[in-house]
Structure 1
């Protein structure tokens, strides 16, 4: 499958994600009668958004500007295996270096 490159379709996709999130949240909140559960849901959503921002903006802009992540699996691999583990593998196999 090719990458989505049309700006209009990218905006439509973003709006659809927003609507889906609002719909799912609205249904969950309508089913919950306890305010603390609704507050915990809001905190969880906020925290996951901040974690995603951290993984794809903070790390790439401030911690390691040379590294780019393709997705959450790449970020986990980077966080667990350490800095530039894929580049180190290439450097050991290539005697001329990176």
Structure 2
């Protein structure tokens, strides 16, 4: 439950907006945690099904999602629409649906 200054009842949770991550050390830590999460997940999938086919499909899956991410955040902004500025996947989806309506 969100609380405001006038609503400070016991048991409520006060949420505040977090600022952008600007410290390079925290950014590197975040990147390392993403890589570790991906490596661990891939390792568990391959441990469950240790076949070349599974490894190949997993590699194709990771590559395709990486290219889609690149397209969503770099290609649209730099090559398709100079006015577009993304703020996450939701802004890309909103942009895409607005463009389809035109």
Whether these two folds match at TM > 0.5 is yes
Match for residue 59 of structure 1 among 56, 67, 76 = 76
Q: Using structure 2 for the length normalisation, give the TM-score.
A: 0.75
1:92 corresponds in structure 2 to none
Paired with 2:27 and 2:39, the residues of 1 have a C-alpha distance of 18
- Structure 1 or 2: more helix by fraction: 1
Q: What does the per-residue CA deviation read over 1:41-98, in whole Å, with 9 as the maximum and x for residues that have no partner?
A: 1101110000000000011011111210111111011111118x9xxxxxxxxxxxxx
1:24 to 2:41 alignment:
yes
Paired with 1:33 and 1:7, the residues of 2 have a C-alpha distance of 37
Runs of 4 or more, structure 1, over 2 Å off, are: none
Match for residue 10 of structure 1 among 23, 27, 44 = 27
Structure 2, gaps ≥5 residues long: 1-17
The size of the alignment, in residue pairs, is 84
- Taking CA–CA contacts closer than 8 Å with sequence separation of 6 or more, which of the two structures ends up with the larger relative contact order? 2
Q: Using structure 1 for the length normalisation, give the TM-score.
A: 0.78
State the superposition RMSD in angstroms.
Answer: 1.6
**1:67-82 residue pairs with structure 2 within 5 A?**
67-82=84-99
